[in-house]
Structure formats: C-alpha cells, structure tokens
Chain A
Amino acid sequence: MMPASGKGVASVGKKAREPSKRGWAFAAAALVVVVVLELGLERMIPDSSIRQLLMLAACNVLVALSLNVINGMAGQFSIGHAGFVGLGAYTSAVVSAHLHEAMGGGEVTFAKSFVVVPIALLASAVVAGTFGYLVGLPSLRLKGDYLAIVTLGFAEIFRLLIATAQLGEKETIGEAAAKIGKDGVVGPFFHMLQVGITSLGGQNGYAGPKNQGLPLYAGPFWVFGLALVLGVLAYRLKFSGWGRALRALREDEIAAAAVGVDPTRYKVRSFVIAAVGAGIAGGLMAMNRDGTPTVQPDNYNFQASFDAITMVILGGSGSVTGAAIGGVLITFTVKAIEAVQSTRVVQDLKSSVPWLDLNALRMMLYAAVLIALMIWRPEGLLGERELFQKQKLRPLKLPKPSPDHPKPDEPDRAPAAAANEPAKPVVAAADEPAKSDGDEPEKGAPP
C-alpha cells in the first residue's frame, strides 16, 4: 500500500506481536487451571450451593461482558438483555437434551460434553444472534431511546410467550409441521409454532423432551474456560479499531459518520455481538452442572435484565474488567441479600411484624448499594479504565523536524512574529513540502 513505510511496518509488526509468547503461556496456564477445576472442584468445594454460586457468577460475568459491548462501548441503552440470555438458555436446553437422547442417554460425562456443549452453545449463539439482528436492525437505525423500548418489549414478549403457552392436545412438532401445505400454509405454520412453544413447558419450565430433567453438561471447564476466552475477546474488541470506532460513535454520531464510521452498521453489529454473548451465557446457565435441571421463564424477567445493567454500570461502563467485576459483585450481593433475609433476626422480625415484605428488604438493600455508588463513583468502580491495562500500542517516534525547517504551522506558534511579517510563513511553506518528502509516504502513495 505504502512503499515508503512498508519496511518499518514489518519490523514494528513483529515487535507488537511479541507478547503473544506470553499469551500462549497464559492460555496454557488457564487451560490447566480449568481442567483441574473440572476434575477437582467437587472435592475442593463440597458445598454444592457455593459451587453453584461460583458458576453462576461466571455466567453472570459473561452476561455483563456481552451487555457491556452494546451498553458500555457503543453507548446504546439495551434494557432487555435477559431476553437474549433466555433465548440462549432455552436453545441450549432443547439442543443438549435432544443430543443427549440421541447419544443414548446414560451418564453425563466430561468426554461427551465436548460434543454436546459446543453444538448447544453454537445453536444458542446463532439463535440469539439472529434475533439480535432482527431486533437491532430496525431500532438502531433510529437515534434516541428506541432501542431501550424495543429490547424491553422483545424480552417481555419472549418470556410471556413461553410462560403463558397453554398445553392443548398432545401433538408433536413433527405432526404439526406435517400439516403445513396440506391445510394451507399460514394457519398450520402458526399452529406448529404454538405446539413448539408449548413443548417448552410453560410457566413450569423446560426439563427435557420427556420431562426427566436436563442433562447438565457444562462443568467448570466450560463455564470458567469460556468466561476467560470471551473476556479476552471482549478486551480485544475494545482495544481495536472497532472499539475505538464504537467509542467515537458514542461521543458524536455525526462526526463519526463524517469520517466513515457508518453508525447503523457498527451499532447493529455490536448489538449482534452482545446478543451472541448473551446467548452463550444463557446456554451455559441452562447446562450449568451445579444448577437446576430445568430452565424457567422467570429467570429471564425484567429483574434479570436490570441486574445485568447494574453489573455494567457498577463495574464501569465500557470497561471489560469492570463488567466482569460487576458481574461477580452483583451475583454475590444478590446471594448475600438472600442470606440476610433468611437469618434468624429477619425471620423473627417478620413474624412479629406480619405486614413486612421480605422482597422489599431486598429492593431496599439493592437500592442503597446503587445510591451509594451513584454518590461516590458515578462512573462505576473502574470508569472506562481496565484493571490490568496494558501499555498502549506505542506509535513510532518519527524523526523530529530540525528547527531550521519549520513546519507550515510555525507562525501559529509564534503569533506575534507572524503578525509582523505575514509574508514569512509563505516562504517557509514553499520550502516545506520538498524538504519533508522523505518522511511523508503520502507523496509516494497516489499512483
């Protein structure tokens, strides 16, 4: 492209990739750790409720990381993130349960998880990403808060469709699908959809095709491993041209468009990325080894979306490590509040004051945390910074122009002198292009 700078790029490019050796070491260490966790977590932490909490925290980290892409980096307010998490959860539940059946059922083993989990998560990612595109495309073309309303609507429609589906006559999806074409197209199609949604179990939750409980394939290897991998990807996204463009877009859409950053394209793509991440997080939640063997629609209600937003804002909008910290903190906070609710004192209080609502206590504590945050750290714990922020990719230091070849802007630095001799800068400028040709590849670039 630019012959003059080609040589420099090759040498500097190598230098910039040097940390990759450290990267491989880090990856190998992480792999060892997750395998050890996979095999030994049960012995290390015998209490399954604590294991569940840790795994849930990792899943919530993924939720926060994905929401951070669209809410934090791109600055678009999505308040229906749980909808995508739920989509991913149901997709993975259905796919893994059927795969499990197809492989002959039996015990859930670590070896089999290498077949089931990738396929299930891929399905979750594709489904959530597709819906992300369908939801994002119309609403992100518009400026303003449309996205918030559309995502909220989407998440509630998703949840209520599943929760309120009524069990009618027993009919499999195959039978319903066979009617398409025979009895017309539109009617049977919606009938098939209805049968399909009904088969997801309604308000009681989905527990596999024969209601025998979901196979829980995602052990610590998958949950912690994917949390790490996707965390690294989110970090890379932020510190790339793409991340920069998203931040620019957040600052000033008109100026970003004027320099070639297409607002709709960047926003829709980042929304799809966020939806895909949420889908994977949901899939892991559904298959979580220490979780419940059902998927319930109420796990993906507005409260869950709101928790996700809180994680991002608590950690610092736009910060990847901040979102991860937020995910962990909120998971623990919610758990801690539940623990406080079940203590003797609170239970005694409840029995002596019958009108006291324990849910109100949860909301009060939660609100107190948020208010404290807004007062002391309105930008979140980390702001937009990262916890272990690497030294930025340093630009090359170009040879400094010697003082006797002033740049054309010289008079601007010494306005008094320029005012007295307005003709001087013209001479300096006429000199300038010829002298600086050597270090200016632009001159050589146009053919």
Chain B
Amino acid sequence: MSDLVLEGVSKSFGGLRAVADVSFSVKAGRIFGLIGPNGAGKTTVFNLVTGVYKHDVGSIRFGSTNLLPLAPAKVAEVGIARTFQNIRLFTQLTVLENLLVACELQKRAHLAAAFFRTKVHYEDEELMHHRAMELLEVFGLQDAADEPSTSLPYGNQRRLEIARAMMLKPKLLLLDEPAAGMNYGEAEGLKTQIRWLRDKFDLTVVLVEHNMQVVMGVCEEIHVLDHGETIAHGTPAEVQNHPKVLAAYLGGDDDDDDDDEAGKAPPGAEAKKTGPASTATAKDAGSEP
C-alpha cells in the first residue's frame, strides 16, 4: 500500500502564494479531509498532486513514486484518480461511454487491434462494458447508461464522476467537493458511499469539502488550510475546536478572502457554523465500524 506524502510544498501564481509550505501525509486506507475557507488552496493541492500544476518547492510522493515530473495522464497510471470541483463530464458522450473512456489504460488491445477487430479488441470491449455496468449499478446509474451524461440531475452527475474515477482502479481517490449542491439526504448517502467504496476497493480517499456534515462525518483525519498555509491538523474532534480553525471560518482578526464567492459566503458560513454541532451524532454513528 502506498501513502501520499507532501513535504514542504509551495506553489505561487505570480505574486500570489496559493500553497505555502504545506506538509502532510495520508496513510493508505484512510479517509482524509482537506478543508479550509474559499481560496485556501485546497483545489490547488489537488492540482499539484495530479500534475495539472507543477509545484515550485517541496516534494509530493505517492508510495515510492515522485509525482513532480509526471503529466496528469501518468499520474492516473500510477493509480490516482480524481473528480473535479466544477463537474467535468464528457458532455457529448453517454453515461456508459464516460466510464469506458477511463479504461483506456487497462486495455490490452492497441490501435491496430481496433483497426483489424482482433479477438483481443472484442474481449477488451466486453470486459470494460461489464466493469462499467457493474460500477454504474453500484452508483445506481445503470438505467441511465445510454443517456447523454448531461441529462443526469446534478447529484447523479457528481456520482458519475466518482464512478468514472473508479474505473481507473485507483489506489488513491481525490474528491473535490463531492457534496457541493447536494441536500442533507444526498450528503448522508454520499458519506455512506465514500466509506463503502474505501472498504470495498481498498482505497485511500482524500476529500476537499465545505459541507461539514460530510467532512466531520466521514473523515478520520483532517488537514486545515487557510491562505495556502496549514493552520491545523488532527482528528475531526481536535480540528473542530481548534482556535485557528474557528477564527478562519467564523472570522477572527484574520480577514477572510471570501470576496471571490461573495454571494455564496453568508449561507455557507451559516452552514459551517451549525454543521459540526448538528452532525455530531451522525459522525459518532458513522465512525463506528
């Protein structure tokens, strides 16, 4: 099993330090939360891990693999799958095809096999169809397999993205705000799913999330970023009561840079304030194996 280890990672965009000297390690098999106010650099960390951006300083390793020189497609080959904050489905493809794209790496058939329709080509296609349909069933999307992916309701699009990531047979799954736009019930379902996926597929899960109901309910370890810097790290209980975290979320002397999503900020802050307390019972129930 491989751990994800970040050591002293920094990334600047021009004069903006998006991620500053962040270090943490995610043990294999953990469900790990990466949280922080808007603009804290959480998604940037994901983009650094998956090779979309290259970090300036520090090292990111997955098991014994140094991820710095790897292009995104190579990172996927190493066994790291991700979802995106703003859903990125292949909109012209059907639900099933969205999943099938993700198995290009596992195919034995190469281009010539597709041209000449060899036995390997058909075996591969059947195998991948089979796997894709199984995963769609896991996510309850099997009836929509031939629909265009954009015809799915929002929550199902998010789950389709997770299913697509799972097609890679990843060892590490990075979820970028999987609960965004979900209501209370859907978020509860998501928690169950994340835990279930981890157990069933021997996954390591890292999630970036604003929905504290999900974060506190499902994460075993939490790392908190603000303005690109680490402000806290620990179990959900430790993080919830950490003074710096409370200051960052509820506004202390430190002024939040919520201006980029000004419209969303007030209700979001509200949810965060009440979130941890109201879901405490759900969390306790959930963390018991």
Nearest-neighbour CB distance to chain B for A349, whole angstroms, equals 47
Q: Chain A residues with Cβ under 8 A from B190's Cβ?
A: 412
From the candidates A247, A396, A422, A429, name the one contacting B195 in the complex (CB within 8 A). A429
Q: Is B101 touching A418 in the complex (CB atoms < 8 A)?
A: no
In whole angstroms, what is the CA distance A17 to B120 when docked? 11
Q: Among the interface residues A395, A418, A441, which one has the most CB atoms of the partner chain B within 10 A?
A: A395
Closest to B83 in A: A258
From the candidates B50, B73, B100, name the one contacting A262 in the complex (CB within 8 A). B73
In whole angstroms, what is the CA distance A439 to B190 when docked? 22
Q: Is A393 touching B193 in the complex (CB atoms < 8 A)?
A: no
Q: Chain B residues with Cβ under 8 A from A257's Cβ?
A: 71-73, 76
Q: Is B285 touching A261 in the complex (CB atoms < 8 A)?
A: no
Q: Is B168 touching A240 in the complex (CB atoms < 8 A)?
A: no
From the candidates A13, A251, A407, A428, name the one contacting B137 in the complex (CB within 8 A). A407
Q: Is A252 touching B88 in the complex (CB atoms < 8 A)?
A: yes
* A104 CB within 8 Å of chain B: no
Please report which residues of chain B, range 58-112, place their CB below 8 angstroms from some CB of chain A when the two chains form the complex.
71-74, 76-77, 81-82, 84, 88-93, 96-98, 100-105, 107, 109, 111
Q: Chain A residues with Cβ under 8 A from B13's Cβ?
A: none
Interface string of B5-40 (1 = CB under 8 A from A): 000000000000000000000000000000000000
Question: Interface with A: B126-134, B235-243, B246-254, B260-268, which one?
Answer: B126-134
From the candidates A8, A242, A258, name the one contacting B81 in the complex (CB within 8 A). A258
* A43 CB within 8 Å of chain B: no
* A236 CB within 8 Å of chain B: yes
Q: Is B73 touching A240 in the complex (CB atoms < 8 A)?
A: no
Tell me what chain A mostly uses at the interface: helix, strand, loop, or mixed. Answer: helix
Q: Is B126 touching A16 in the complex (CB atoms < 8 A)?
A: yes
Q: Chain A residues with Cβ under 8 A from B127's Cβ?
A: 1-2, 5, 9
Q: Check A396/B155 contact, CB under 8 A, given A241-B107, A260-B77, A411-B188.
A: no
Q: Is B114 touching A237 in the complex (CB atoms < 8 A)?
A: yes
* A386 CB within 8 Å of chain B: no
Please report which residues of chain A, range 241-272, place their CB below 8 angstroms from some CB of chain B when the two chains form the complex.
241-245, 247-248, 250-252, 254-263, 265, 269
Q: Check A416/B115 contact, CB under 8 A, given A2-B127, A258-B50, A258-B76.
A: no
In whole angstroms, what is the CA distance A9 to B91 when docked? 29
In whole angstroms, what is the CA distance A445 to B190 when docked? 25
Q: Among the interface residues A259, A401, A411, A442, which one has the most CB atoms of the partner chain B within 10 A?
A: A259
Closest to A428 in B: B192
Q: Chain A residues with Cβ under 8 A from B102's Cβ?
A: 259-260
Q: Chain B residues with Cβ under 8 A from A259's Cβ?
A: 76, 81, 101-102, 104, 164-165, 167-168
* B273 CB within 8 Å of chain A: no
Q: Is B123 touching A401 in the complex (CB atoms < 8 A)?
A: no
* A367 CB within 8 Å of chain B: no
Q: Is A398 touching B133 in the complex (CB atoms < 8 A)?
A: yes
Q: Chain B residues with Cβ under 8 A from A417's Cβ?
A: 185
* A443 CB within 8 Å of chain B: yes
* B181 CB within 8 Å of chain A: no
In whole angstroms, what is the CA distance A295 to B125 when docked? 44
Please report which residues of chain A, range 410-447, place their CB below 8 angstroms from some CB of chain B when the two chains form the complex.
410-419, 422-423, 425-426, 428-429, 432-433, 439-443, 445-446
Please report which residues of chain B, range 266-289, place their CB below 8 angstroms from some CB of chain A when the two chains form the complex.
282, 285-286
Interface contacts beyond A407-B138, A441-B134: sample of 12 additional A-B pairs, CB < 8 Å, sorted by A: A241-B128, A259-B104, A259-B167, A259-B168, A407-B140, A408-B196, A409-B159, A415-B183, A415-B189, A417-B185, A441-B130, A442-B134
Q: List 22 A-B contacts (CB under 8 A).
A: A5-B130, A5-B131, A9-B126, A236-B115, A241-B107, A247-B90, A247-B93, A252-B89, A257-B76, A259-B102, A259-B165, A260-B76, A396-B129, A401-B137, A407-B138, A409-B189, A410-B189, A412-B190, A422-B285, A426-B285, A433-B200, A441-B131
